[in-house]
Amino acid sequence: MSTPEQEAVGRTATMSDAMVEAVAHEMRADEEVFYMGEDVADYGGIFDSTTGLLDEFGRDRVMDVPISETAYLGAAVGAAQAGMRPIAELMFVDFFGVAMDQIYNQMAKNTYMSGGSFSVPMVLTTAVGGTYNDAAQHSQTLYGTFAHLPGMKVVAPSTAYDAKGLMHNAIRDDDPVVYMFHKRLMGIGWLPAPDGPKTPVPKEDYTIPFGKADVKREGDDVTVVTLGLHVHRALEAAEMLADEGIETEVIDLRTLKPLDRETVLESVRKTGRLVVVDEDYRSYGVTGEIISSVAEADLDSLEAVERVAVPDVPIPYSRPMEDAVIPGTDDVAEAVRSVGE
């Protein structure tokens, strides 16, 4: 899944290491960059998002904040409008509810409402995803919620390589960027990651543009479009299906806003068969958006389509039920087989 250029790098990193490396680089390069959030200083981020930053940059620039998301996310908006480049962390994306006004009525809209006279150059980092039985208030991805509201760029990397390049771009960008990292991909000791997200990562800084999907696996038979953790589940399914003679193309969106519709369309024109896999709720979300984009642009290219997503219920706690609602590798494989028939 990594390119020859990445292989040539000669070292691999976890997604956590890659993210932190990009943040540290930007903090060294620009004194206006600072990080704030709950447990980001001494703890290093509950999901290893800030490991080691306190030691290098001190408490002025790596700030623990009160459990007051409205105040500190809003303060990030204000500091950004004053010209600084804050990175503010929402520990779990599920906590967005207590601070949504600052996120979508302030952060997301001030550039537009000011006719472009203000910019909000901040990054909102946040942990997403389930698969470890943390129940309905700590397991959501909410990709669709954030991508739906205008005014925010939204990224969700699935590998260390992408995580670093997207973080550099997020911090340097003059617009608010919501950076959604999946807990299961970070490489945390107590939450083992699959093999995929740990990739070769160049030591130097580099930027990956927003709105460019990445074809993580090429195939002629069926297109699978997905993001985050499910890139790896789709790749695993693709390996299984290859043994059955089905060649699956796996597209990692990487960015939800802007959305790379062109890459998706190109692939569907080749395969004619589309499966969209999402760890967010089924209705009014990523799956519907991708499928309708293809249908709208080129209805004739679509021979068969299916979506695999969380049914429209909150995420249940008990393992058999959580496993039932979060799409697994088998669910992806089954959907690919069904559109391939």
Give the active site residues. 138
The CA-atom distances, in angstroms, between 292 and each of 143, 268, 274 are 17, 13, 11
Residues 47-106 that bind other proteins (CB under 8 A): 64-71, 94-95, 97-98
Cβ neighbours of residue 325 closer than 8 Å, sequence gap 6 or more: 310, 311, 313, 315, 316
CB of 314 vs other proteins, minimal distance in Å: 7
Q: Is 135 in the site for other proteins (CB under 8 A)?
A: yes
Stretch that binds other proteins, among 103-111, 187-195, 268-276, 331-339 (CB under 8 A): 187-195
Tell which one of 25, 85, 138, 232 touches other proteins (CB under 8 A). Answer: 138
CB of 260 vs other proteins, minimal distance in Å: 31
Nearer to other proteins, 91 or 160 (CB): 91
Tell which one of 2, 133, 207, 293 touches other proteins (CB under 8 A). Answer: 133
Tell which one of 3, 30, 56, 137 touches other proteins (CB under 8 A). Answer: 137
Tell which one of 117, 189, 300, 341 touches other proteins (CB under 8 A). Answer: 189
Distance of CA 222 to the CA centre of its chain: 23
Angle at the Cα of 329 (from 227 to 164), degrees rounded to 5?
30
**Residues 340 and 221 sit within 8 Å (Cβ to Cβ):** yes
Which token pair is 228? 């985050």
**Residues 304 and 339 sit within 8 Å (Cβ to Cβ):** yes
Q: Between 252 and 281, how does the x/- string for binding to other proteins read (CB under 8 A)?
A: ------------------------------
Nearer to other proteins, 202 or 316 (CB): 316
Closest CA to 163 of 177, 151, 147: 177
Nearer to other proteins, 67 or 113 (CB): 67
Q: Is 132 in the site for other proteins (CB under 8 A)?
A: yes
Nearer to other proteins, 94 or 278 (CB): 94
CB of 249 vs other proteins, minimal distance in Å: 30
Residues 203-242 that bind other proteins (CB under 8 A): none
Nearer to other proteins, 136 or 295 (CB): 136
Nearer to other proteins, 197 or 340 (CB): 197
- Count of residues engaged in binding other proteins, rule: CB under 8 A: 44
Q: Is 319 in the site for other proteins (CB under 8 A)?
A: yes
CB of 263 vs other proteins, minimal distance in Å: 32
| Residues of the shown chain interacting with other proteins in the complex, contacts defined by CB under 8 A | 38-39, 41-43, 46, 64-71, 94-95, 97-98, 131-138, 189-192, 311-314, 316-325
